[in-house]
Amino acid sequence: MPQRCTGDKAFGSGFNAGMVHVGVRKVLLQLNQLPADPASGAARSMLTMAEMLASAGDRFEVHALGTSASEGAMPLGLGEYFGQQGIAAKESIFAGRRVYRYTHRRVRTTILDAGAVSPMEGERLHALTYDALLEQMLRRQKIDIVLTYGGHAEAVRRRRLARGLGCRVVFGLRNWGYMAPGAFVECDAIVTATEFVTERYRRVMGIESTAIPLPIEAEDVLAEKQERIFVTAINPSREKGLLFLIRLLEELAVRRPDIPVLIVESRGNAGQVRAAAGQFGIDLARHESIMMSGGVAKPRDIYAVARLVLMPSVWEEPAGRVAVEAMMNGIPALVSDRGGLPETVGAGGIVLGIPGHVRVESRELPGREDVAGWVEKVIELTDDGGLYERACAAAREGAARYEAASVMPRLVAFFEGVG
């Protein structure tokens, strides 16, 4: 039998490939935020995992429970948001709060309207209502497996509730936020997106997990019409290389004002970029080649106009969803050599170094020499048409292992082997 993750350490992934479950298994994706949260790659990854299971014939019946909470700005009301997404949601009232129910891509979804809040603020305001919805769903639907993440007390309590009702719990490990004793209490299996993450948690925490490549929904990311114009950077936050990016864009704009750049907001926004640049006497607004855009609900809207994608992360990136999305569109992704990014892109991306002194906690602007290799590569890919086309072809080829035909069988086998 698989080892359960009930203490500070887990020995065994919770997965037994020789154990085959007969009949339809009921899976619940349980998140304390909007599953399709455009500001959360982790949430979207978990949702796509659920959607792939739902589309795997009649092996799984998949449900989802989330809230309206978002890690970024969510200016729209849920009703308007669902309308924009083409989702026909039915509204009802539960314990005085609006609840929306709909089925999308065969996932039967329930969303608690917690207002325009962060996930943690949503917990503070509406945890009891959410927990009541969760228990009702677990009991009525007779859920077999709960797919979730979270290390805070509420998350552990929910996992304990699910297991007490006979469910198995799969933990989607998507970041470094669980390097603490007891982080994996009340779970039966752990799934990561890279061997880099699996190995790091094995070495530091003594837990075993199963690495399955990032699940990506092609419909969400593939642009119907490519107008390749911009060198594009998404989510200009500190861990994503904000200061490095500021220096890079300043140097590129000075040397080649003919190369248009687009910065797309997510958790990092235009105001933060301008403020950070201003601290070092840099006015990016003086460059007509540098433009900024608000976040988008569908990633494909970004890639419809992207020619290159920059991902100069200065932290140890667990995986790198943006790079994969770009590659699926045949767009060269220039990524740093930090964390799981080299593994994520493989031969399909372009891995560039960032000096070791440039880190998340750095408060000094990187020097011109620090970004020189990145600037030169952008210019080469702009000026050399043959080099660019070869990079595009490599991106498409490298993205093949993230297609549903490759990822889905591994997900199905994993979930069929849980418990």
- Percentage of residues of the chain with pLDDT beyond 90: 81
Q: And the tokens for 117? A: 């809040």
CA of residue 405 relative to chain centroid, distance: 20
Segment 135-144 mean pLDDT: 97
Lowest mean pLDDT among 37-51, 67-81, 176-190, 249-263: 67-81
What is the C-alpha separation between 40 and 34, in angstroms, rounded?
9
What is the C-alpha separation between 149 and 141, in angstroms, rounded?
21
Confidence of residue 102 (pLDDT cuts 50, 70, 90): very high
What is the C-alpha separation between 263 and 281, in angstroms, rounded?
19
pLDDT at 280 over 70: yes
pLDDT digits (tens, 9 = 90+) for 311-369: 999 999 999 999 999 999 999 999 999 999 999 999 999 999 999 999 999 999 999 99
CA of residue 412 relative to chain centroid, distance: 20
Segment 263-268 mean pLDDT: 84
Q: And the tokens for 105? A: 């891509």
Single pTM value for the model: 0.89
Identify the sign of the CA torsion 384, 389, 390, 394.
Answer: positive
In contact, 358 and 340? CB cutoff 8 Å: no
Question: Where do we find the tokens 């933060």?
Answer: 272
What is the C-alpha separation between 237 and 265, in angstroms, rounded?
9
Confidence of residue 22 (pLDDT cuts 50, 70, 90): low
Q: Is 274 strand, coil or helix?
A: helix
pLDDT at 6 over 50: no
What is the C-alpha separation between 215 and 46, in angstroms, rounded?
8
What pLDDT does 75 receive?
Answer: 52
The per-residue pLDDT of the chain, averaged, comes to 91
In contact, 351 and 377? CB cutoff 8 Å: no
